[in-house]
Each structure stands twice: as structure tokens, then as C-alpha cells.
A and B are shown apart, each in its own frame.
Chain A
Amino acid sequence: MSGAYWARRLLQTALILFIVVTLNFFLPRLTPGTPAGHLYNDPRLSPEAKQEILAQFGLDKPLHVQYAVYLGNLLRGELGTSFSYRRPVSEIILSRIPWTLVLTLSSFLVSVALGVALGAAAAWKRGGHLDTILLSASIVVSALPSFWIAMILTLILAFYWPVFPAYGMVSPHVPVGWNWAFIGSVARHAFLPVLSMCIGGIVGYGILVRNSMVEISGEDFVRTARAKGLSENAALYRHALRNAMLPLVTRIGMSLSGLVGGATVIETIFSWEGMGLLIVEASRSLDYPLMQGTMLIMAVITILANLCADLAYARLDPRVKLK
């Protein structure tokens, strides 16, 4: 891991970021229609009045001037004011990200935990019952659209047997805060979304771990460990599992970028007020500042996640040399 490598990497990242920011600015403006359209819908507005409204939102200036203003604001850390919320974009995004994280982090943790356990258990007895079940499950599950699973789960668990709430994030009149009632309510509401999301995840991680362990169980160092007189149990746990960590971490790194934007459809189905739903709403209402802000934040998080994943990968596998 040479300094030169990281320097080049950072430079590339900055360039990508700049291009993303520019694209971010121009793309929404390509779409036909005017933002804040509701303000134009009054047929009594004279052309001068319309111009004045445009000016109030800074939309009357030529495009390159708007771009310069946009860049200047970004450098100051200002993401602008949302047209439809009429509040700062950063405030809106900050209030929504935690809710998405509730879903994605829970799903992530459950997937990894159960997946690793399942995969290790399956690899322990190759060809056994659990192994076959895991195999079949993985093939089936990879072909199932997650939003369909969500709809079916909602149909069963919220319509036929109303066990779980089918929408929303928390029951109203529950006092917000770190108390059991609130946490319990959120947990109840999160159950179905998280379940839909992690079915695929559990199986995916399970297969990953199982294969890694099965593949390397024949490798030299395990044989060496056995030769040393360690029990098979110890051999498996200490060496095989640890080495399965590498592909596992790689995969985790790849999934990190989805932590903030990856639950869009699920959020739509369950009316979960997270980033995903925010993005869909912003795109639908042509709320330029909000669209730009959300896309930018997601891009930044993806870039950071990739960087972290590379870092972790390099750290974990000394065989890898980053040129």
C-alpha cells in the first residue's frame, strides 16, 4: 500500500466527484417541465409575475450562472433549499437517512449473522440435509424479486393474519425517544420490510461462506493444521472460517454502498420514510435541490464505501499488492 497509490486514488476520486456533481446539476434540468410547477399553475399570473417567481428561486439566470452558484454553495456545504419542503435539503436528508439505516443495517446484520452461521453449518456436513436445503434455497431465492416477496408477506401477515403493521414506521402517539414503547413500535413496523430484504441476503451470505470454507478445506494449511494434531473442529474454525472472511469482507464492502439507497422499492411498498422514498418523491416532483442533494449524498457514500472496502481488503489479504 504505497502512498503513491493512495494519492492517485484520491485524485481519481476527486475527479469522479466533480463529474458527478456536474452531471447532478445538469441532468435534472434536461427533463421537460418547470420545477415548483405548482406556482405556475395559476392562470392569472402575468409574464412579469412568472419571471419574478423564477427569480425568487434563482431560476431566471442563465444556466452557467446557476451552475456557478450551485458549486459555490456546495463548497460551503450548503445543499440548497428544497422547492417542495421549503426547508434546507441537508436537514431533510439528515432526518431521513437514519430511518433507511434502520432497515438496511438491521437487514445487513441479520443477513451476515444468520448467513455465516448457516453457511458454516452447511459446510460442516457437506452434502448433508442443511447443505442441500441451502443449495436449493439459493437457486430459488436468487430468482425471486424482493418487492414481490414483500407484497406476499404483507398479504399474509398484515391482511389475512394481522400480526404486523403493513405500513409506516411507528404508531402515532408513541412518544418519540429512547423508550421501550418507541423502540418496540419501530421494531414491529420494521419486521416485514427487514424480512423481505434479508431473505435473499441470508441465503447469499450463507452460500458465500459455505463455498469459501468448502474450497479451502482441502488447502494445504488446513492439512497442515490437521497434521499438527488439531481436532477437525479447531481446524475448521480457526483456519477455514478465518480465511473465508476475505471474500465475505469483499462482499460486505460491495454491499456497503447500498446501505443508503438500496431499499427504495421496499420503502415505497411499506411507506417507510427513508432516503429511497425521498429520492422517488423528489424525482417525481422535479424538486431540483432535493434531487441534486440526494443523488450527491448517495454518490459520496458509495465512493466512501468503495474506498473503505478496498482498504479493508488490502489490510486483510497481505497477498494483494496494490500497484
Chain B
Amino acid sequence: MEKPLRSVVIAILCVGLLMVPVGAGVAGAAKAAGNLNLGVVADVKNLNPYMGYGSSETFVIGWVYDTLLGWDSNEGLVPGLADSWEIKDGGTSVEFKLNPNAKWHDGKPVTAEDVEFSFNFIREKRFPSFMAIIGNLAGAKAIDKHTVRVTFRSPSSNAVRFIATAPSILPKHIWSKIDDPRNYPNLDNPIGSGPCAVAERRDGQFITLKNLGNHYRSSLNVETITLRVLRDETMGIMALRRGDLDALLWSVDPAVAEEIDRNPKGYPNVKVAMAPSTSVRTLMFNLRRAPWNDVALRKAVSLAINQKELIDQVLLGYGSEQGPGLVVPSDLHYNKSLGPVPRDVAKAKAILDQAGYVDKNRDGIREDKNGKPMKLEILTGNLPTSINLAELLVYQIKQIGIDAYFTPLTAESLRNKEQAADFDAAVSSVSFSVPDMMFYYAHTSRGVINEGRVAGFNYGGYSSPEYDKLADAMLVEMNDQARIKLLRDMQARLAEAYYHVPLFSSNVLMLYRDDRFAGWTVEPDSCINNSTTYSNLVYKGGK
């Protein structure tokens, strides 16, 4: 009896031990020379340039396809598939001159007909990711072999930027034959005009791009780029530390960055790249609800918030304080006079006293104009960092005598409540890097309630006729300097409104290794994952 048992156990152990050398030999094959290994957390499920939206998908699509122009954080619009562009007819049309050397991966040349086809394709097939722009897009027409004109219904500087940098240009000879483009995943050998082609792909595991080496503009030096899909961030970091990966393309937990900074010897050759992000975390008030429609009250809360403590506790120091203009310093239209406002609890209390919110019964909580104790419910997400942030906010706001408490919700529930305008205040975030957003988040029309739902993203119902005038003008202003002036005025108005009270702006933290590749370049928001890096990256050698 025991003999069969023993032999079974021994057999299993043997099989298990055999696997060790078999597997170990295989892992080494991952590091071929000149191959850039990048870790990502999002899967590549769909390579349809007009349907793909995950970060990994847009990465791959960005290398396989070209757009008309590119965007540089310092210079703005730069050449892409088009060598030059010209805005005409008061902003209602743009003419692009294409690079004559551009070719599709199957050898055919890229012509203006492909561009004409692509834009009309978007309009006809109504791709959901471009729905926002379809309304304004009148059409595209090829003027000659390498010139194409795109026309809009009404002028909009952002529309130009969008159509020039967002939609990939598709080969007409392939896509005109596809029946159901919205459901076409395009996973088999996608043909584009970009520097790379898809060499190998395994669902849910990895995708490898091969540098074709014959691109008319790109200076990519790397032979191949492999995106390794990681489901678990910890494992990705461990793989980076082991050398299986060269960089991780997501912003890591500040705790990881702190650990690496404290203990660099435990992470040889691993570096932390830190870049300011372009989004600002805010506390958004519902201006439709009393007493939060009283700007003095909101200002007091704003003065009670200790941004430095939030950054230390929630971001572990990896962030920066933010001014009430809600635009980050790295943006071109930043209003320099609206820097961070230092915390001032005494001033906050004084403002509240003056405004009539006094603690009459000495229980530590002020009463409002009706004699009721002042309560502030803050809606927040339910992830640990959100809870941590909310706990700190509540703690800080209680210091000025308002009974603050928070309610954690799932992301969907939170959005639901925001759309129903059913909140006192909510932890939110804004990103005004794309200037048009200043319209969509604060214009009166975007805060109107239709059938119980807020029409746009102005959930708190901010409404100022002066701001609306500035915003309307900004949307159609084609002159860069004039537009920047308008935007700065708008920031000044927002700063006085205390609608979105700034909490902080976090840093984007990415990890990379410096032993196999050199040339990593850090830029705001994209951190190391930007075109400058890929132009500069050079393979140093090593296994």
C-alpha cells in the first residue's frame, strides 16, 4: 500500500524538478540584442486605428500608422505625414502638403487620396471615438497627388489640432474593401505608413513591433520593440529589476519610487523618471446647493486645505502644489500670476466668522444661516489612495469648524451622482492642457440639467456670463497669442470662483533601466514615453 503511494509522490516530484531546467533555459531567449522590452498593463485587443483606445493599443497604432502632424510639448504642431500645413478661409479649412516619400508597408505610395478617404471614412462610418469631431468636419478633398484640404463647418483651433494629430491615415486600397469596419479588429498584419510593422503577437501576452528602417521621417534606432502585457504591477517591477524588461510604461505607485530612491543598491541600473503631470486633483463643489453657493464659504475651505500635507501623505512627496487657475506651469497658456495659495487657517476662520457661520453652541461645529450644524459630504472613489486623500481632507476641513465626512463610491456610482448633480462636493480632477476643456468644464451651457442629468462636464453648475463670453471667443480664436490671453483671463476668473479647489498635481513616475539603452528623455505628462525618447534611444549593447 505504501509502495504505490511513495512511487506516486516520487514521480510527481521528479516531473516537477524536470520543469525547472526546461523553463529556466527558455526565459533567457527574451533578451535578443537591439530589442526594447517594455512592460504594459493594458492588453492589445484591437488594432483598428479608429476603434482602439487602450494605452497599449494607441502605442502600437502610433508606430504602425502615421498622423498628418505631431504634437511637441514645446513647439506645438510639428510635421508628420505632412511636411507643412496652412490654415485658410478664416480657419474653416486647412491645407496639408504630404511628404512625397511616404509609403505604405506593402510598397504603394501614400497619396492625398488616402487622406481624403480616411477623413470621409470617419464621417461616413461614424466611428464612436471621433464622434466629438464629426459634427464639425465638413469633409476632405485631394487637391493634387500630395496636397489635401480638410474643411470644417466652423473655425476651431482645437479641431485643427485634433484632426491633425489624432486620426491615423489609412490606406484606401485596403480599407475601402472592408465591410464592417467598426467590428474589424485589424489584428492580422496591419498595413500602415509608420516606422514599424507588427512582427509577432500573442493574445494577452506580448506584441512585437519591427522597425522597418525605411521611414521618411522617423529616426527610431531600435530594431524591435516588444510590449509585454503584465497583469500585475508588482511582477512587472520585479521583471524590470531582473533585467527582463527595459522600462515600464505606466505610472508606478509612489511607494515604489520611494523605495528605489531609498535603496538604490537593491535595484541596480533601475532609475525613476519623474515628470509633472498635466492634471490637477480638485475638490469640486456643487454650486447649486446651499450653502455651497456662497463663494466665501468655498474660499474658506480652500484656505484650510494643506496641499503640502496631502502631497506628503498621499503622493509620498511626488507631486507639486497647485494654484487656483487649475492650469499646470508646464502648459503654454499657464497664468504665472496664479501660483499656489499658502494655507491659512486663521484667515479661513475669519472669513467664516465674517460671513455669519459661527459656532454658537460651542460644540466645535459652526452653524449655517438657519442654525443647523454645517456638514459637508465629500464623494470620493473607493481605492485606497482615494480613501486616504478623503480622510486627510476631512481632517483638514474639520479644523475650521465644518463637520466634513466622506462617502466612498465606485467610479461608476460617483459619475452617476455627479451627472445627477446630487452631491455637496466631490473629489475630482481636471486637465486643461487641451485648452478647449476650459470651455467644457465651466461654461454655463455645460452645466444645464436636462431630464435630471447634467448636459456636460460642468457638474457643479458654475455659471458666469463673463466667463462664457471669454470661453466662446477662445474656441474660435485662431491666433495663438490672442487665444493664450483669453485663456489666462479665464484662469483668473476660475481662481476667484473656488469652484474646483485645487488639491495638488501629482507626478508621473516611470521606471526604466539605463544599462541596455541610453537616451531616455523626460517630458511633462508623457514622462519617458514620448517621441523624443524614441528618437534618442540607442542600444548600448549587452545581452
Contacts and interface: CB of A to CB of B under 8 A. Distances in A.
Interface residues of A, number: 59
Interface string B1-34: 1101100110010011011101100110110100
A53 B226 CA distance: 33
Contacts of B203: 95
B132 interface: yes
Nearest to A194: B16
7 contacts: A33-B412, A56-B126, A95-B203, A117-B5, A124-B2, A164-B20, A173-B206
A38 interface: yes
Contacts of B51: 86
B255 interface: no
B29 A271 contact: no
Contacts of B1: 120-121, 124
A176 to B, nearest CB: 7
A188 B5 contact: no
A117 B128 contact: no
Q: Nearest 9 A-B pairs (CB), nearest first?
A: A33-B412, A271-B231, A184-B22, A188-B23, A43-B440, A44-B132, A167-B235, A43-B457, A49-B131
B8 A185 contact: no
Contact of B23 (A37, A165, A273): A165
Interface in A165-199: 165-174, 176, 180-181, 184-185, 187-189, 191
Contact of A163 (B20, B46, B410, B412): B20
B222 interface: no
Given A33-B415, A44-B436, A171-B30, A191 B16 contact: yes
Contacts of B132: 42, 44-46, 49
B446 interface: yes
Contacts of B457: 43
B9 A86 contact: no
Given A49-B134, A52-B128, A184-B26, 5 more contacts: A32-B412, A38-B53, A49-B132, A173-B206, A271-B231
B204 A44 contact: no
Contacts of B18: 184
Contacts of B23: 165, 171, 184-185, 187-189
A43 B440 CA distance: 6
Contacts of A45: 131-132
Q: Which of A45, A50, A170 gathers most chain B CB within 10 Å?
A: A45
A151 to B, nearest CB: 11
Interface in B73-95: none
B8 A114 contact: yes
B371 interface: no
Given A33-B415, A53-B128, A167 B205 contact: no
What size tier do the contact residues of chain B reach?
35 or more
A238 interface: no
Q: Which of B26, B185, B440 gathers most chain A CB within 10 Å?
A: B26
Contacts of A84: 45
A53 B8 CA distance: 59
Nearest to A195: B16
Given A31-B412, A188-B22, A166 B238 contact: yes
A86 B187 CA distance: 12
A87 interface: yes
B263 interface: no
Interface string A48-81: 1110110010000000000000000000000001
A160 interface: no
Interface in B432-462: 436-437, 440-441, 446, 450, 455-457
B5 A32 contact: no
A304 interface: no
Q: Which of B15, B23, B446, B457 gathers most chain A CB within 10 Å?
A: B23
A138 to B, nearest CB: 17
B196 interface: no
A118 interface: yes
A271 B45 contact: no
B152 to A, nearest CB: 14
B46 A172 contact: no
Given A121-B2, A188-B20, A47 B235 contact: no
Contacts of A171: 23, 26-27, 29-30
A168 B26 CA distance: 14
Contact of B231 (A124, A167, A174, A191): A167
Contact of A166 (B45, B131, B235): B235
Nearest to B129: A39
A43 B202 CA distance: 35
B466 interface: no
A113 interface: yes
Given A37-B415, A163-B20, A87 B46 contact: yes
Contact of B29 (A43, A87, A174): A174
Contact of A172 (B2, B129, B226, B440): B226
B412 A286 contact: yes
A102 interface: no
Contacts of A180: 22
Contacts of B20: 163-164, 188
A44 B457 CA distance: 9
A314 interface: no
A85 B45 contact: yes
Interface string B32-46: 100000000000011
Contacts of A172: 30, 202, 205-206, 226, 228
A131 B448 CA distance: 74
A263 interface: no
A203 B15 CA distance: 21
B12 A110 contact: yes
B221 interface: no
Interface in A103-122: 110, 113-114, 117-118, 120-121
Given A113-B8, A120-B1, A52 B183 contact: no
Contacts of B416: 32-33
Nearest to B436: A44
Interface string A138-176: 000000000000000000000000011111111111101
B508 to A, nearest CB: 19
Nearest to A272: B231
Nearest to A48: B135
Given A87-B185, A172-B206, A43 B131 contact: no
B206 A33 contact: no
Interface string B111-140: 000000000000000101101111100000
A69 B12 CA distance: 51
A84 B185 CA distance: 12
Nearest to A86: B46
A39 B416 CA distance: 15
Interface in A258-305: 271, 273, 277, 286
B230 interface: yes
A185 B205 CA distance: 14
Nearest to B16: A191
Contacts of B129: 39, 42
